Structure 1
Amino acid sequence: MGQTALARKAGISASLLSKIEVGDRALSQGVAASIAAALGCTLNELLGKASTEPANKEKLTELRGVIRRFDCPGDPPSGSEKIQAGLSDLFKLRGEANLGGVLNHLPNLLESATNYAHSVGTPDAWSSVADVYSGVYWLAARHRWMDLADLAVVRQRMAAERANPLTVAIASRDEAGTFLNGGDFATGLAVVDRAVTEAEGRLSGKARAFGLGILHLRGLTLAGRIMDKRVAARHQQEALRWADEIPQDVGDHGIHFGPENTATHVMATYVDMERYADAISTMEGIEREPITLPATRVGPLHMNAARAHLALGNREKALDSLSEAWEIAPQMARVHPHSQETLRVLTSLHRRSNRRLMALAKRAGIPH
């Protein structure tokens, strides 16, 4: 397929496709999804899986084995204390964007939590299982191991249905995330809409604000990827409304929600929708107060700031923001497509040597 034919089939200009190919423009997730559809593949297939360190392959094989044994439990632990401690450690590692640590931690915790839930059968026990599977989805999505992500959300939903409505809402959020990662944004939005309707009928109190809030944030991201201003505005308005019910960001089930995290999602969506000046303005507002969010949220925040600065032609500020992302969440920056794309374009556009840029490109494994 020639360049002109591919551009036409993807619904983009040949000029834009050419600039992306030679490194003059960054490939956005929305454009990438259109190109993937034109080529008959998924977004994650187009972007490619992140490489697995040799030391992690054994743990990944072990994790897959535990997932397969979901309905074949072994001997349960004597109590839930170690499981709860293990969940706390998992949430901490996830918050730090410590991908290697999460992978090392998951197999034993998942096996213990699953065996215990089969033994006692309580909603709290099954909620713990769903939380671990949410961690599996998070790890798999970061690396674009989408076969593992898809399997994780199926198991997560099975556990959540035996737990409580908030855990079901979180499972739906992660399910919509698999469509986000695969580039099927419209289906992801349908999953969110279905989950919102279900949550409105089942959740109450603080759980209602938290559950509906995280669902609308997922909807906001999905709508931004397809440039649907009306749907994005609706999800943004609803997310802000529920964030008002939570004065300060809170973490629950390994996920954060509140005014600060809502602002980071709004900023990211502005970048997706090419509202770069609005994104920078929102970023400046976020930075007026000390950021309390964990690295797993702050790292992508700076990646999105780098994308906005690059689109506005400010390469130095783009490099500053990208360097911040690498400083805060290096393991995530190494595999995240936003980080990789921004750095690819920066190295392509810099015609003269830039020691800081070259050092970052070397860390990322990008030729320069």
Structure 2
Amino acid sequence: MVASHVGQRVRQLRKLRHLSVRSLATQAAISPSLLEKIESGDRTLSPALLTRIASVLRVGPDRLTGQPYMNGAEAEDPVQAVIPELRRICLTYDSPDDLLVAPRPLPVLAAEMEQLSRMRQDGKYIPMGALLPGLLSELTHVALAGRGEEQRRAFGWLARGYRATNSLAHKLGYHDLSLTAVERVHWAADRAGEPLMQVTAAYLKAGAMLRLGSFGSARRLLEGLEREIERMAPEGSMSEAELAVQGAVLLKLAMVEARDGQADRAVLRLAEAQAAAAVLRRDTTHYEMSFGPTNVRIHEIAMLIDTGDTGRALARLREWGAEQDRDEWELPDDLAAERASHHHIDVAAARLAEGDRGGAFADLAVARRISPAHTRFHPTVRHTAGALVRLDRSGDEAVTNFAAWAGV
């Protein structure tokens, strides 16, 4: 029988590795009772804990999450059909197949890529996926055949296309394709001659390292990026874009330290990011990296949840809510939908850990309303929705229907 949730996969692999509950719990730095709850499906795993357990079991995190999800309604989604085409494009990136018709002019392609980038930030994967392969192919031909400034601009837009490919592949659970796409972002960014795009490419690579638990490598890469941005613009003369990209790097460093158990260093990096956000005084999306006061707070909550301090995370939401004369902190309406949806998914898992099943389901419902595709494909949603169904003794139809929609 194929395991249907993370806990069952943990149990199967633990037995395959001939580990007792106590042995795996000790090596993962958790209590045996927590591991038993995880294996039974009554508790969800934070990304940090998922990475630790996967490392002990000598598998990738996606082996535990069961990605890519092809055993439920997702198999019917047309977005899955573009994956083979994206693999082909990534493979033939510097020697593409011939086009049946000539590519459209670069300004037309740039406008379409701008639209596609907004779709990515809003988690609109299905319409984005339909556009992405053809647009990548056209931009590749324009970039390789171009000269001078037009060629550099074409490679800049192509880098953004590969970034969208990385995001789509990662969200759908095709992590090998995601990593390949990151390398293609590097390739195109180098040819575009845009230093901050090159930083962005390396930032994406550090994110992949973080997900795989390569904390030392991610830390060294991100610290190098921070120094590189300082060399581009000495302190006091940074543009808004440079400051925003540096702030995003600092937030990623804070997450690395948190997942690596370096709480003091995580707090220090978060404070540095807060200082950068205070200078900006607004939320920005330079190079498609969200940064500003809102995203700093979102990361602070994520750090607390990742380290298991779910009670403090929820208390912080209430503190910030008081500043808005609300019960809990509410995100600004203009925040990128994918970022907002991700926050509510994290908070749902925290509420479940604190025993608030109603609140957990309410946050999942908000995440779905904000960005349905992002919510449906997110592994934490499956963990949380599955746990809510297993813990529900009343047979709540709304919970059951949500879980079925999520493919649980």
Q: Give TM class, smaller chain.
A: over 0.9
CA displacement 1:266-315 (0-9 Å, x = unmatched)? 21112112232332244343735643202101101111111221222221
User: Are positions 1:312 and 2:362 aligned together?
Assistant: no
* Aligned match of 1:267: 301
For normalisation by structure 1, the TM-score amounts to 0.92
Of 35, 50, 73, the match for 1:32: 50
Instruction: Tell whether 2:324 aligns with 1:301.
Output: no
Correspondence 1:185 to 2:215: yes
1:120 paired with 2:154, answer: no
Q: Indicate how the Cα distance of structure 1 residues 24 and 297 shifts in structure 2: closer, same or farther if over 3 A, else same.
A: same
Alignment partner for residue 15 of structure 1, among 33, 46, 67? 33
Q: Aligned runs of 1:1-368 on 2, under 5 Å?
A: 1=18, 2-51=20-69, 53=75, 55-73=78-96, 77=103, 79-118=105-144, 119-122=146-149, 123-162=152-191, 163-203=193-233, 204-284=238-318, 285=320, 287-288=329-330, 290-366=332-408
* Distance (Å, rounded) in 2 between the aligned partners of 1:222 and 1:80: 38
Cα pair distance change 1:229/1:195, threshold 3 Å: same
Letter paired with 1:154 = E
What is the CA distance between 1:58 and its match in structure 2? Answer: 3.8
C-alpha distance 105-78 of structure 1, shift in aligned 2 (>3 A): closer
Cα 1:333/1:51, change in 2 over 3 Å: same
TM-score when normalising by structure 2: 0.84
CA distance in structure 2 between the partners assigned to 1:313 and 1:34 by the alignment: 24
Q: Distance in 1 between matches of 2:114 and 2:43?
A: 41
Q: C-alpha distance in 2, partners of 1:279/1:112?
A: 46
1:168 to 1:279, Cα distance in 2 relative to 1, 3 A = same
Residue identity matched to 1:17 = L
- Runs of 5+ in structure 2 lacking a partner? 1-17, 322-328
Please report how far the alpha carbon of residue 108 of structure 1 lies from its aligned counterpart in structure 2 after TM superposition: 1.2
Is 1:94–1:254's contact at 8 Å kept on the other side of the alignment?
no
Shift of 1:324: 0.9
Mean Cα displacement is larger for which, 219-228 or 170-179? 219-228
Amino acid of the structure 2 residue aligned with 1:246? L
Distance in 2, matches of 1:180 and 1:295, equals 23
For 2:160 and 2:273, the matched residues in 1 are separated by: 22
Letter of the aligned partner of 2:196 in structure 1? L
In structure 2, C-alpha distance between the alignment counterparts of 1:250 and 1:139, rounded to whole Å: 22
Going from structure 1 to structure 2, the CA distance change for 1:57 and 1:24 (only over 3 Å counts) comes to closer
Contact kept in structure 2, 1:32 and 1:43, CA below 8 Å? yes
Q: Which amino acid aligns with 1:208?
A: E
Q: Percent identity?
A: 28
- Partner of 2:44, secondary structure, is coil
Count of residues in correspondence between the two structures: 366
Residue aligned with 2:290, SS = strand
Question: What stretches of structure 1 of length at least 5 have no aligned partner?
Answer: none
Q: Structure 1 288/149 Cα, relative in aligned 2: closer, same or farther at 3 Å? A: closer
**Aligned-partner residue type, residue 64 of structure 1:** R
